[in-house]
Amino acid sequence: GKPTPLPWGVNFESAQIKYTIPIHPTQIYAFLYTLAIAITLILISKKKAGFIGLIGIASFSFVNFLEHFLRGDDTLLLFGIRVPQIIMLLLSITSGIFLYIHYNKPTNTNKIKKS
């Protein structure tokens, strides 16, 4: 992760570095948001059957997109944004569009009866 002044920042000890600075524990963040999403999906799976996978993909990819802002590792940048972030954002938007279409499609309640 990136350096942080927050009290839950972690230090990784290294023999080559005398002092280390606290960084965001992105691994712990990832565990916590994945656990929260999984519990939420389990709770709503009984009520909203059919599109739980899309809800999970949209949620996970969006939170993962946000988490990448706190990461400190080097990765390929495109327009100043990390490539995994771009992929996660596109995945989140695409899943969101499919969810919107699914939940807003018109219901055919006016059936014409033949006489």
Task: Flag whether 7 is in a domain.
Answer: no
Q: Is residue 41 part of a domain?
A: yes
- Whether residue 52 is contained in a domain is answered as yes
Residue 75 lies in a domain: yes
Considering the domain boundaries, does residue 21 fall inside one?
A: no
- DSSP state letters, 76-111: -EETTEEHHHHHHHHHHHHHHHHHHHHHTSPP---P
Asked, for residue 111, whether it belongs to a domain, the answer is no
Tens-level pLDDT at each residue, the chain (115 residues): 888 899 999 887 777 766 688 989 999 999 999 999 999 999 888 766 567 888 999 999 999 999 988 888 777 788 888 899 999 999 999 999 998 988 887 766 555 555 5
Say which DSSP state 52 is in: H
Specify if 68 maps to a domain.
yes
Rounded distance between C-alpha atoms, residue 38 and residue 30, angstroms: 12
**Would you say 67 and 33 are in contact if contact means Cβ atoms under 8 Å apart?**
yes
- Please state the pTM of the whole predicted model: 0.74
State the pLDDT at residue 48. 62
What pLDDT does 103 receive?
A: 80
62 in a structural domain: yes
Domain, as residue range, for 83: 26-103
Count of the separate structural domains present in the chain: 1
